[in-house]
Structure formats: C-alpha cells, structure tokens
Structure 1
Amino acid sequence: MDGPDDEAWSAYLDLTRRRSEQLLDADDPYEVALQLMGDTANIFSIGEEFVGSMYALWGALTDWGELKPAGGARPRAESEMVRAAREWLALNPP
C-alpha cells in the first residue's frame, strides 16, 4: 500500500515516538498518555492492525491512573506509562 493511509500511519508512528520521548521526562506522564490515547483515536480510520491494541493500552493505563488514584495507584500507573513508552521506543518503529 502506498498512499494517504501509508502517510497517515507513518505520521502516527513519528508522533507516537515523539510523545513517548516526552512521556519519559514529563512532570505529569498521565497528561502525555492521554495525548497518546487521543492521537491513537485519530488514526483508527486507516484500519492498521495495531491501532486498537495501542488505544487499549493507553486507555487502560490512563483509566488506572484516573479511576484508582487512592492508595498509591496513580504513581504506579504512571510508572507503567513510562515503562510502556520505554518499551515502545526500544522497538524502534520506522
């Protein structure tokens, strides 16, 4: 496939890489994770295989931080957000 969907997917991968880098140093990883989830929602229309998984990942992590902030869950959730960003960057997507 070579066309608008390819361009959209490439732009999404680049944006996800940049957001992941931002998340590693963010004062509030939750806010950057929300942006990652929103970016992913915006790319659903191209039907790429992994979009749903990425959305589910960032949705679960942000829900964890938002819905269970008591008992130290938010810092644990944010730690997992940082881990997910590191793991994404380690994959070195194109």
Structure 2
Amino acid sequence: MKDSEAFRAAVRARAMSMLAGDASPYDPALEILGLASGGLPVDDGDEAGNWLALIWGELTDWFELRPAERDQAEAHMITAAREWLTIEGDQEAEAHYFDRWLHDILGFERRVTPPTSGAVDVTFGCQGPADVLAPARPTTVTSRAKRQ
C-alpha cells in the first residue's frame, strides 16, 4: 500500500465488513490495526493511520485482554466502524472523530504543552512508546461504555 487512498480504501472495506454482521468484528478490526500499524501512509501527510492505529489497538486489546467484556468491545468496534464510514474523507469530521474516540471514549489524557512557536501542541498523556498501551485513563473498561 503506497498511498493514503489505497490505505483508506482498505480500511473502508474492513469497516464495511464489520457492519455486515456475519461474524465477530474482531478479525476486521485486527486487520485495520495491521494496516494502520504498518507505518503507512507517510508519503502524503495523511495522519489518519496514526490515529486509527491507536483507536483499533485499544479496541482489539480490550477484546483480547478482557474476555468478560468482549460483547462491549465488539459493540464499540461496530460503532467506530460505522462512524468512520460516515465521516471518512472530511478532514474536520475526522479530527472530531479522532478526538472523541481517543479522549472521550478510550480515555487518552489531553495534555497541553507550552507553545514554542505560538501554537498550542496537544499531545497524549503518554510518557513514551510503552505508555501507548497503557494511557492515562479510567481503570475499568466498563466506564468507557458508560461515557457514550
């Protein structure tokens, strides 16, 4: 996959398969994570892959690490896929989608660092790469579902 259009088409296909309802959304969710984690697309400035990797990584981890909550995790996967298909391609809507899923639903902390060039840099509340798997957030996944 060399460009963001091919990447986005592949993500769309997996998201659409989740909505078909034929099987668990876990496998297509894992495929989206794989596509997004591949480091692409970086050639044209499309950062959707970065944010999608965080979202789908959290959702698939939820499914894998908390078997008792798999139904909730799957419901969130389907919702995330449905919403992505609705807003994909609209940069402003995508920004709201990423903000909502990463911060409001999945609980990544909003951190505002002091500006160095007159702009405000909003980053995640992670200390380093290892913290991406354990961001600052409520301790139970159940609380995630209640926030929706």
- TM-score, normalization: structure 2? 0.53
Considering fraction of residues, name the structure with more helix.
Answer: 1
- Which of 36, 39, 43 pairs up with 1:40? 36
Larger strand percent? 2
> Aligned-pair RMSD on alpha carbons?
2.0
Which of structures 1 and 2 has the larger relative contact order (alpha carbons within 8 angstroms, sep 6+)?
A: 1
Partner of 1:78 in structure 2?
A: 74
Contact (CA 8 Å) 1:33, 1:81: kept in 2 or not?
Answer: yes
Percent identity, please.
36
Aligned length: 87
Which letter maps to 1:55? A
2:59 and 2:77 in contact (8 A); partners too? yes
Match of 2:65 in 1: 67
Partner of 1:54: 52
Asked if the contact 1:37/1:58 (under 8 Å) is kept, the reply is yes
Q: Which runs of 4+ in 1 moved over 3 A?
A: none
Alignment match, 2:17: 22
TM-score (norm 1): 0.82
Unaligned runs of 5+ in 2: 91-148
Larger radius of gyration: 2
Unaligned 5+ runs, structure 1 = none
Provide the C-alpha distance between the structure 1 equivalents of 2:65 and 2:32, rounded to a whole number of angstroms. Answer: 18
